[in-house]
Amino acid sequence: MVSITSGLEENTSGLEENTSGLEENTSGLEETTSRIEETTSRIEETTSRIEEATLGIEKIKPGHAVMTYDFLYKEGVSAYLAEEWEKCIRYFELSLADWHWWKDNVARCRRTCSKESAKSELFSEKLSEDERFYERAVRNTLCVVNCKKSAFGSRMDRIIEGVMKENFELRKPYDYLQLCYFKMDKLKEAADAAATVLAVEPNHEVMKTNLKYYLAEGNFAASEVNNLELQEYGKEYIKGNVAYNNGDYKATVAHMEKSLALFYDAFEVCHHLCDNPFDQGWFPDFIASLAIGDVKKACEAVETALAVNPNDEVQIRNKQFYVTEEGVKDDYFIPRKNAVAFMKIQEFEEQLMQFIDTSFISVNDDAFLDEDDDDIEKTETETSSEVLSSNSSLLGNKIETTNVILGSHNSLKEDL
């Protein structure tokens, strides 16, 4: 009997130990569960902060140390492919703002330093022209380096792929923007973006079709569509045309004179940026438009227009008319000095480019590359393959942008 009782006590003790062990395990599980819940809570909190930071990206200003125009452009492309239209718009708008900030500061530094080095006292003042040239080049370079250091800070040494700069020069962000605006039912903004692309690519058939569609479906007139990259001289030129059509000739002259001054300034800025040739195709048109109300000024404007384009039949007839006017003298027909200087620069650059094209045709490009250049070239190639065109469908297949825009609609046939 005692043996049975002892066995029961041992079993009871064992059960109590097992129960205690289970309670300890349960307590451990509860602690683990609590830790998992805490970790989950932290992850959700971090995710929330990331989302808040993303949604607050519009607060980022041009010149940000990290959010550079190339980074923002790539984020815009990603948002486009993910069909996140609002983010697409924000990223591309910010990338354009930062691009303009970058170009403005580069031009400012080069322009300022060019003037400073030109007027600085030289050690080589009494030496040969070559020594003076090299000293000015050194002074100019040091000035630009210091200016960029001040303007760009940590961004100064950032390398931007050549293909990315080309995207902005060709206004590729506006190509994406017109699609993203359309998806957000912002047809006026989409039309402005499409017109901005057409300003540099007038033969872009897809963009023409898109713009026609926006004009047909939107509640706005074609005259309300804006080129978002139109420079100040262009705006003044348009104001001058409006004034002329309204018969306000005094305002016409004022706007056209201002347009000319701004044009020369823009040409100088473009010169310092050393990018693509500056397109002054319609330059003679607004010089001739100055011929309003002042015969002497009219003769000067006509002669200036003919100096730029000797075969301009309209200005040839204008000159024939003024020559027969009473009181008109031969010395009235003298082109403006700044226009003549501008033409000489253009002629020199064309001759120099032709010389380079013909003289370097037999030179192997590899002779100019070192090992570091190979790495940069490889990076540019890889990057260019990653940046997709806005003509790609959201499923990844290449399709015409027209199909993305028009869907089941037929293409509009009327001219722009």
- Between 316 and 189, the higher pLDDT residue: 189
Residue 93: pLDDT band with limits 50, 70, 90: very high
Coil, strand or helix at 280: coil
Helix, strand, coil percent values for the chain (each to nearest 5): 75, 0, 25
Q: Mean pLDDT across the stretch 149-171?
A: 86
Q: Mean pLDDT across the stretch 385-398?
A: 37
Residue 272: pLDDT band with limits 50, 70, 90: confident
**pLDDT of 310 above 80:** yes
The answer to the question of residue 408 being in a domain is no
> Do 117 and 51 belong to one domain?
no
Q: What is the pTM of this model?
A: 0.58
Tokens 């705006």, residue?
A: 235
Answer whether 289's CB lies under 8 Å from 256's CB: yes
> Do 152 and 199 belong to one domain?
yes
Residue 302: pLDDT band with limits 50, 70, 90: confident
- Pairwise CA distance, residues 373 & 76, whole Å: 28
**pLDDT of 346 above 80:** no
Identify the pLDDT of residue 159. 78
Percentage of the chain with pLDDT > 70?
A: 68
Coil, strand or helix at 246: coil
> Do 94 and 21 belong to one domain?
no
Answer whether 179's CB lies under 8 Å from 390's CB: yes
Residue 33: pLDDT band with limits 50, 70, 90: low
Angle at which helices 85-119 and 129-152 cross, to 10°: 140
Q: Which two tokens stand for residue 58?
A: 């519009």
**pLDDT of 415 above 60:** no
Identify the pLDDT of residue 187. 96
> Do 46 and 116 belong to one domain?
no
The answer to the question of residue 119 being in a domain is yes
Ranked by mean pLDDT, the top range of 31-45, 188-202, 242-256 is: 188-202
Answer whether 111's CB lies under 8 Å from 272's CB: yes
The answer to the question of residue 171 being in a domain is yes
Answer whether 188's CB lies under 8 Å from 224's CB: yes
> Do 90 and 170 belong to one domain?
yes
User: What are the C-alpha distances in Å from 161 to residues 135, 182, 400?
Assistant: 31, 29, 26
Residue 141: pLDDT band with limits 50, 70, 90: confident
The answer to the question of residue 34 being in a domain is yes
Q: Mean pLDDT across the stretch 237-251?
A: 87
Cite the DSSP H helix spans in 56-84: 69-81
From 113-122, 330-339, 351-360, 392-401, the region with the lowest mean pLDDT: 392-401
**pLDDT of 197 above 80:** yes
Residue 316: pLDDT band with limits 50, 70, 90: confident
Residue 6: pLDDT band with limits 50, 70, 90: low
> Do 32 and 94 belong to one domain?
no
> Do 124 and 186 belong to one domain?
yes
State the CB neighbour count (10 A cutoff) for residue 262.
Answer: 17
> Do 22 and 130 belong to one domain?
no
Answer whether 332's CB lies under 8 Å from 300's CB: yes
Residue 393: pLDDT band with limits 50, 70, 90: very low
Instruction: Choose the final residue of a domain: 163, 195, 224.
Output: 224
From 117-121, 248-252, 346-350, the region with the lowest mean pLDDT: 346-350
Residue 409: pLDDT band with limits 50, 70, 90: very low
- Pairwise CA distance, residues 131 & 140, whole Å: 14
Identify the pLDDT of residue 253. 85
Instruction: Choose the final residue of a domain: 224, 245, 265.
Output: 224
**pLDDT of 46 above 60:** no
Identify the pLDDT of residue 81. 95
> Do 177 and 217 belong to one domain?
yes
Domain count for the chain? 2
> Do 136 and 183 belong to one domain?
yes
* Domain housing 51: 16-55
**pLDDT of 47 above 90:** no
- Pairwise CA distance, residues 93 & 99, whole Å: 10
The answer to the question of residue 180 being in a domain is yes
Identify the pLDDT of residue 363. 56
> Do 217 and 90 belong to one domain?
yes
Answer whether 412's CB lies under 8 Å from 209's CB: yes
Identify the pLDDT of residue 289. 44
Single-letter residue type at 21: G
- Between 245 and 190, the higher pLDDT residue: 190
**pLDDT of 400 above 90:** no
> Do 98 and 123 belong to one domain?
yes
- Between 305 and 178, the higher pLDDT residue: 178
The answer to the question of residue 97 being in a domain is yes
The answer to the question of residue 351 being in a domain is no
The answer to the question of residue 193 being in a domain is yes
Q: Mean pLDDT across the stretch 314-332?
A: 78
